[in-house]
Structure 1
Amino acid sequence: MSSIIDHPEHDERRHGAHGLPPIGVWWPMLERTLQLEVLENLNAPLRWFVVRRIYELCELDAGPIPRLGVRLGENERAYIAGWSHAVDWS
């Protein structure tokens, strides 16, 4: 017997956005300056440099990285919100 937790059609990145690797893998390794840049506006599109760095950290080939439109999903924003409360940024 199997159960489905979430249907693939509910994945917001499947609808036109470039999928990112799991945030739990790359966020802790992302350089602090890039983390702070992302934290400035979690709803803003990520710069292509940040997306490329994420793929480098995960040792994945990103292929052609779109210049615009790569955004964090709802679950990724929630992960970062939880992380920022748990980490001392001083």
Structure 2
Amino acid sequence: MSSVLDDPAHDASAQRMHGLPPIGLWWPMLERPLQMEVMENVDAPLRAVVVRRIFELCELDPGHGPRLGVRLGENERAYIAGWMHSVDWH
């Protein structure tokens, strides 16, 4: 099965668009409190501490990452929506 999320060309363009690594790499490792913060409003810009943690989880230099105004794209929001339905949050 393939999807837009599996398309490597799309992942590369998404990273260029907002500077984040592919969500499938960092979301499963992101600490639950930070996941909950992101899920509270997936359309809001990510706080700098969240972006920095994403880069740390992907073993990338957080000093070269975007700092302000980073928002999740459509596929990242869809990934999180799917994650929320597959994980028991209670």
Fold-level match, TM-score > 0.5? yes
Matched residue, 1:32: 32
TM-score, scaled to structure 1: 0.78
1:35 alignment partner AA: Q
In the alignment of these two chains, the number of paired residues is 82
Matched residue, 1:54: 54
Question: Is the helix fraction higher in 1 or 2?
Answer: 2
Query: Could you tell me whether the CA contact under 8 Å between 1:29 and 1:57 is conserved in 2?
Result: yes
Query: Could you tell me whether the CA contact under 8 Å between 2:20 and 2:65 is conserved in 1?
Result: no
Q: For residues 69-88 of structure 1, what are the structure 2 equivalents within 5 Å?
A: 69-88=69-88
In the superposition, relative to structure 1, how do residues 7 and 53 fare at CA in structure 2: closer, same or farther (>3 Å)? closer
Give the fraction of aligned pairs with identical amino acids, expressed as a percent: 72
Structure 1 unpaired stretches of 5+: none
2:42 is the alignment partner of 1:42:
yes
